[in-house]
Amino acid sequence: YRASGDIRRVVVRGSGSRYEAIDNLSFGLDPTPPEVEIDWPLPGTCISDTISIEGRVCDPDGEYDRDRLEYRRIHPDPDDDWVLIREFINQPVCSASPNLYTWDTTASTDIKDGIYLLRVTAENGCGLVTSKEVMVYVSNNFNTVDIQSPQSKSIVGGEICLEGTVYDWNCFDRYTAEYRAGGAPFWSPVDPGTTYDTTKTNEPFAYWTASAGLPDGIYEFRVTGYTDTGKTLPKTRKIILDNTPPTGIIDSPKSCTDPGEIVTIKGTVSDDNLREWRLDFWNPDTKSWSLIKSSKDPVIKDVLATWNRGSGEDCPDVIRLRVWDEARVNACSTSLFGDDRHS
């Protein structure tokens, strides 16, 4: 306290007794604590890098002593000590200031992304203390961009499904999905006009609808997550775009001709990304398709297989040629193309 004024001692005497009284005791006492206001950040604000704390610290009717700014992370241990950021001695700020304090959230490796309390404490000359706290999210990094499909160097075509996780636990703003031809300088959105403003976890997060009209070749796509504080996390993938179906043609025998018992089947099987082909005949005994030959090698206007069909009437048999390529098309399904012929 601050002492001032007068102290007067009054003694009252009476018969048979004596007592003393003190009256008119006056001090320069300050019964009110200092004032603290935090105007920004607001509770729940996402922050990054260096921020300014807006507000004021003051004791309008007394002697001001000091104030300080501290932080403490919430989740790891509620009993963690407060960490001092800055302290000022006898420097009250009685009008709202946009720069009451600054806090560099990158100044220490101990400051991880997470939930923190900021506390401003002011103390006056009488030892009275006022504190105000505000909860904030420190977000110097976007948490997760995980592209699960398509994998790097995958062969894809048609409408391509991008699957995985795009997530930030407290400060998510949006993400973008873009593509470009290999080596091109500019990126284009995979789905123009679409805004991605919700997090995705182990699920489709974009569809590359433009891919169906593009020439085959090597492409890159990029997924970038953005926080409320402007932090980004880009992830890229290089893929092979294949919108061309494989070729499967039976040149001979011609339909409804009698090729005899031993049939030489000629034709073409080709694709830049050929996976396999299969030549079958319809088996009337089992009422199912039976294998004549399968292979992973291309054939260009040459013999596909020699088939012993045995004796039989004209046109009793049906043969089928199916060709697969390596491309995954239309919402991540495997493409299947073929040319079915019969004789």
User: What was the pLDDT predicted at 318?
Assistant: 87
Please determine, for residue 1, whether its predicted confidence score (pLDDT) is greater than 70. Answer: no
- How do residues 159-177 score in pLDDT, each as one tens digit? 888 999 999 989 999 999 9
Q: Is the model more confident about 161 or about 40?
A: 40
Mean pLDDT of 28-35: 82
- Residue 238, pLDDT > 50, answer yes
Query: Can you tell me the mean pLDDT for 309-331?
Result: 76
Percent of the chain surpassing pLDDT 70:
84
Question: Does 71 score more than 70 pLDDT?
Answer: yes
pLDDT, the chain, mean: 86
**In the predicted model, is pLDDT for residue 287 greater than 70?**
yes
pLDDT digits (tens, 9 = 90+) for 131-144: 999 999 999 999 99
Confidence of residue 290 (pLDDT cuts 50, 70, 90): very high
Residue 30 has pLDDT above 90, yes or no: no
For residue 267, pLDDT over 90 is answered with yes
The model scores a pTM over 0.95: no
pLDDT value of position 334: 36
**pLDDT 10s digits, 78-93:** 677 899 999 999 999 9
Decide if pLDDT at 108 tops 50.
yes
Q: Work out the average pLDDT over 308-336.
A: 70
Helix/strand/coil (H/E/C) assignment for every residue in the chain: CECCCCCEEEEEEECCEEEEEEECCCCECCCCCCEEEEEECCCCEEECCEEEEEEEEECCCCCEEEEEEEEEECCCCCCCCCEEEEEEECCCEEEEEEEEEEEECCCCCCCCCEEEEEEEEEEECCCCEEEEEEEEEECCCCCEEEEEECCCCCEEECCEEEEEEEECCCCEEEEEEEEEECCCCCCEECCCCCCECCCEEEEEEEEEHHHHHCCCEEEEEEEEEEECCCCEEEEEEEEEECCCCCEEEEEECCCCCCCCCEEEEEEEEECCCEEEEEEEEEECCCCEEEEEEEECCCEEEEEEEEEECCCCCCCCCEEEEEEEECCEECCCEECCEEEEEEC
Given pLDDT bands bounded at 50, 70 and 90, which one contains residue 41?
Answer: very high
